[in-house]
């Protein structure tokens, strides 16, 4: 996100530097300093994000530290289930098709409102936790 905001700022900064420093050597030094400041900002942003993730993972609260890994384990299980399904479809395509149809019916039985609510809730939780951890880390500086 910051990169999309930084590029126009760097471009404008470069134009300002071109007008203020007529000497090419001084101009290049100023542009280099501007780029260093931009990189430091990006590095600081990355540090804040990583510290929030680490703080969440090291939390003593089992709901906080295990929510994201548990969700990923479910995704991994579904992906790994495709391996035996591939073998089963080679041996007995009818049984594999019946299993797929049953799974599809099971998933489509879940109301779309519930799926939307879960998606919004999960994204809201992740966003709120990231914002909260960022504010905590900024307060420690």
Q: Is the pLDDT of residue 26 over 80?
A: no
pLDDT at site 1: 46
Angstrom distance (rounded) from CA 47 to CA 1: 15
Per-residue pLDDT tens digits for 82-133: 899 989 999 999 999 999 999 999 989 999 999 898 888 878 877 777 777 7
User: What integer best gives the mean pLDDT of the chain?
Assistant: 76
Q: Is the pLDDT of residue 9 over 60?
A: no
Per-residue burial over 78-101, b if 16 or more Cβ lie within 10 Å, else e, is: eeeeeeeeeeebeeeeeebeebee
Indicate the pTM of the whole model.
0.39
Q: Is the pLDDT of residue 62 over 80?
A: no
pLDDT at site 101: 95
Domains of the chain: which residue ranges? 1-63
Angstrom distance (rounded) from CA 66 to CA 52: 15
**Mean pLDDT lowest for which of 9-23, 29-43, 80-94?**
9-23
pLDDT at site 2: 47
């Amino acid at each position: 996100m910051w990169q999309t905001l930084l590029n126009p700022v760097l471009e404008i900064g470069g134009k300002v530097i071109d007008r203020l420093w007529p000497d090419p050597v001084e101009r290049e030094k100023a542009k280099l300093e501007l780029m260093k400041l931009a990189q430091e900002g990006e590095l600081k942003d990355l540090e804040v994000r990583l510290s929030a993730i680490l703080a969440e993972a090291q939390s003593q609260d089992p709901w906080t530290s295990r929510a994201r890994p548990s969700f990923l384990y479910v995704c991994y299980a579904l992906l790994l289930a495709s391996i035996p399904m591939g073998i089963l479809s080679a041996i007995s395509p009818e049984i594999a098709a019946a299993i797929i149809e049953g799974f599809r019916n099971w998933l489509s039985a879940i109301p779309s409102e519930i799926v939307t609510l879960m998606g919004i809730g999960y994204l809201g939780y992740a966003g709120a936790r990231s914002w909260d951890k960022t504010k905590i880390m900024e307060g420690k500086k």
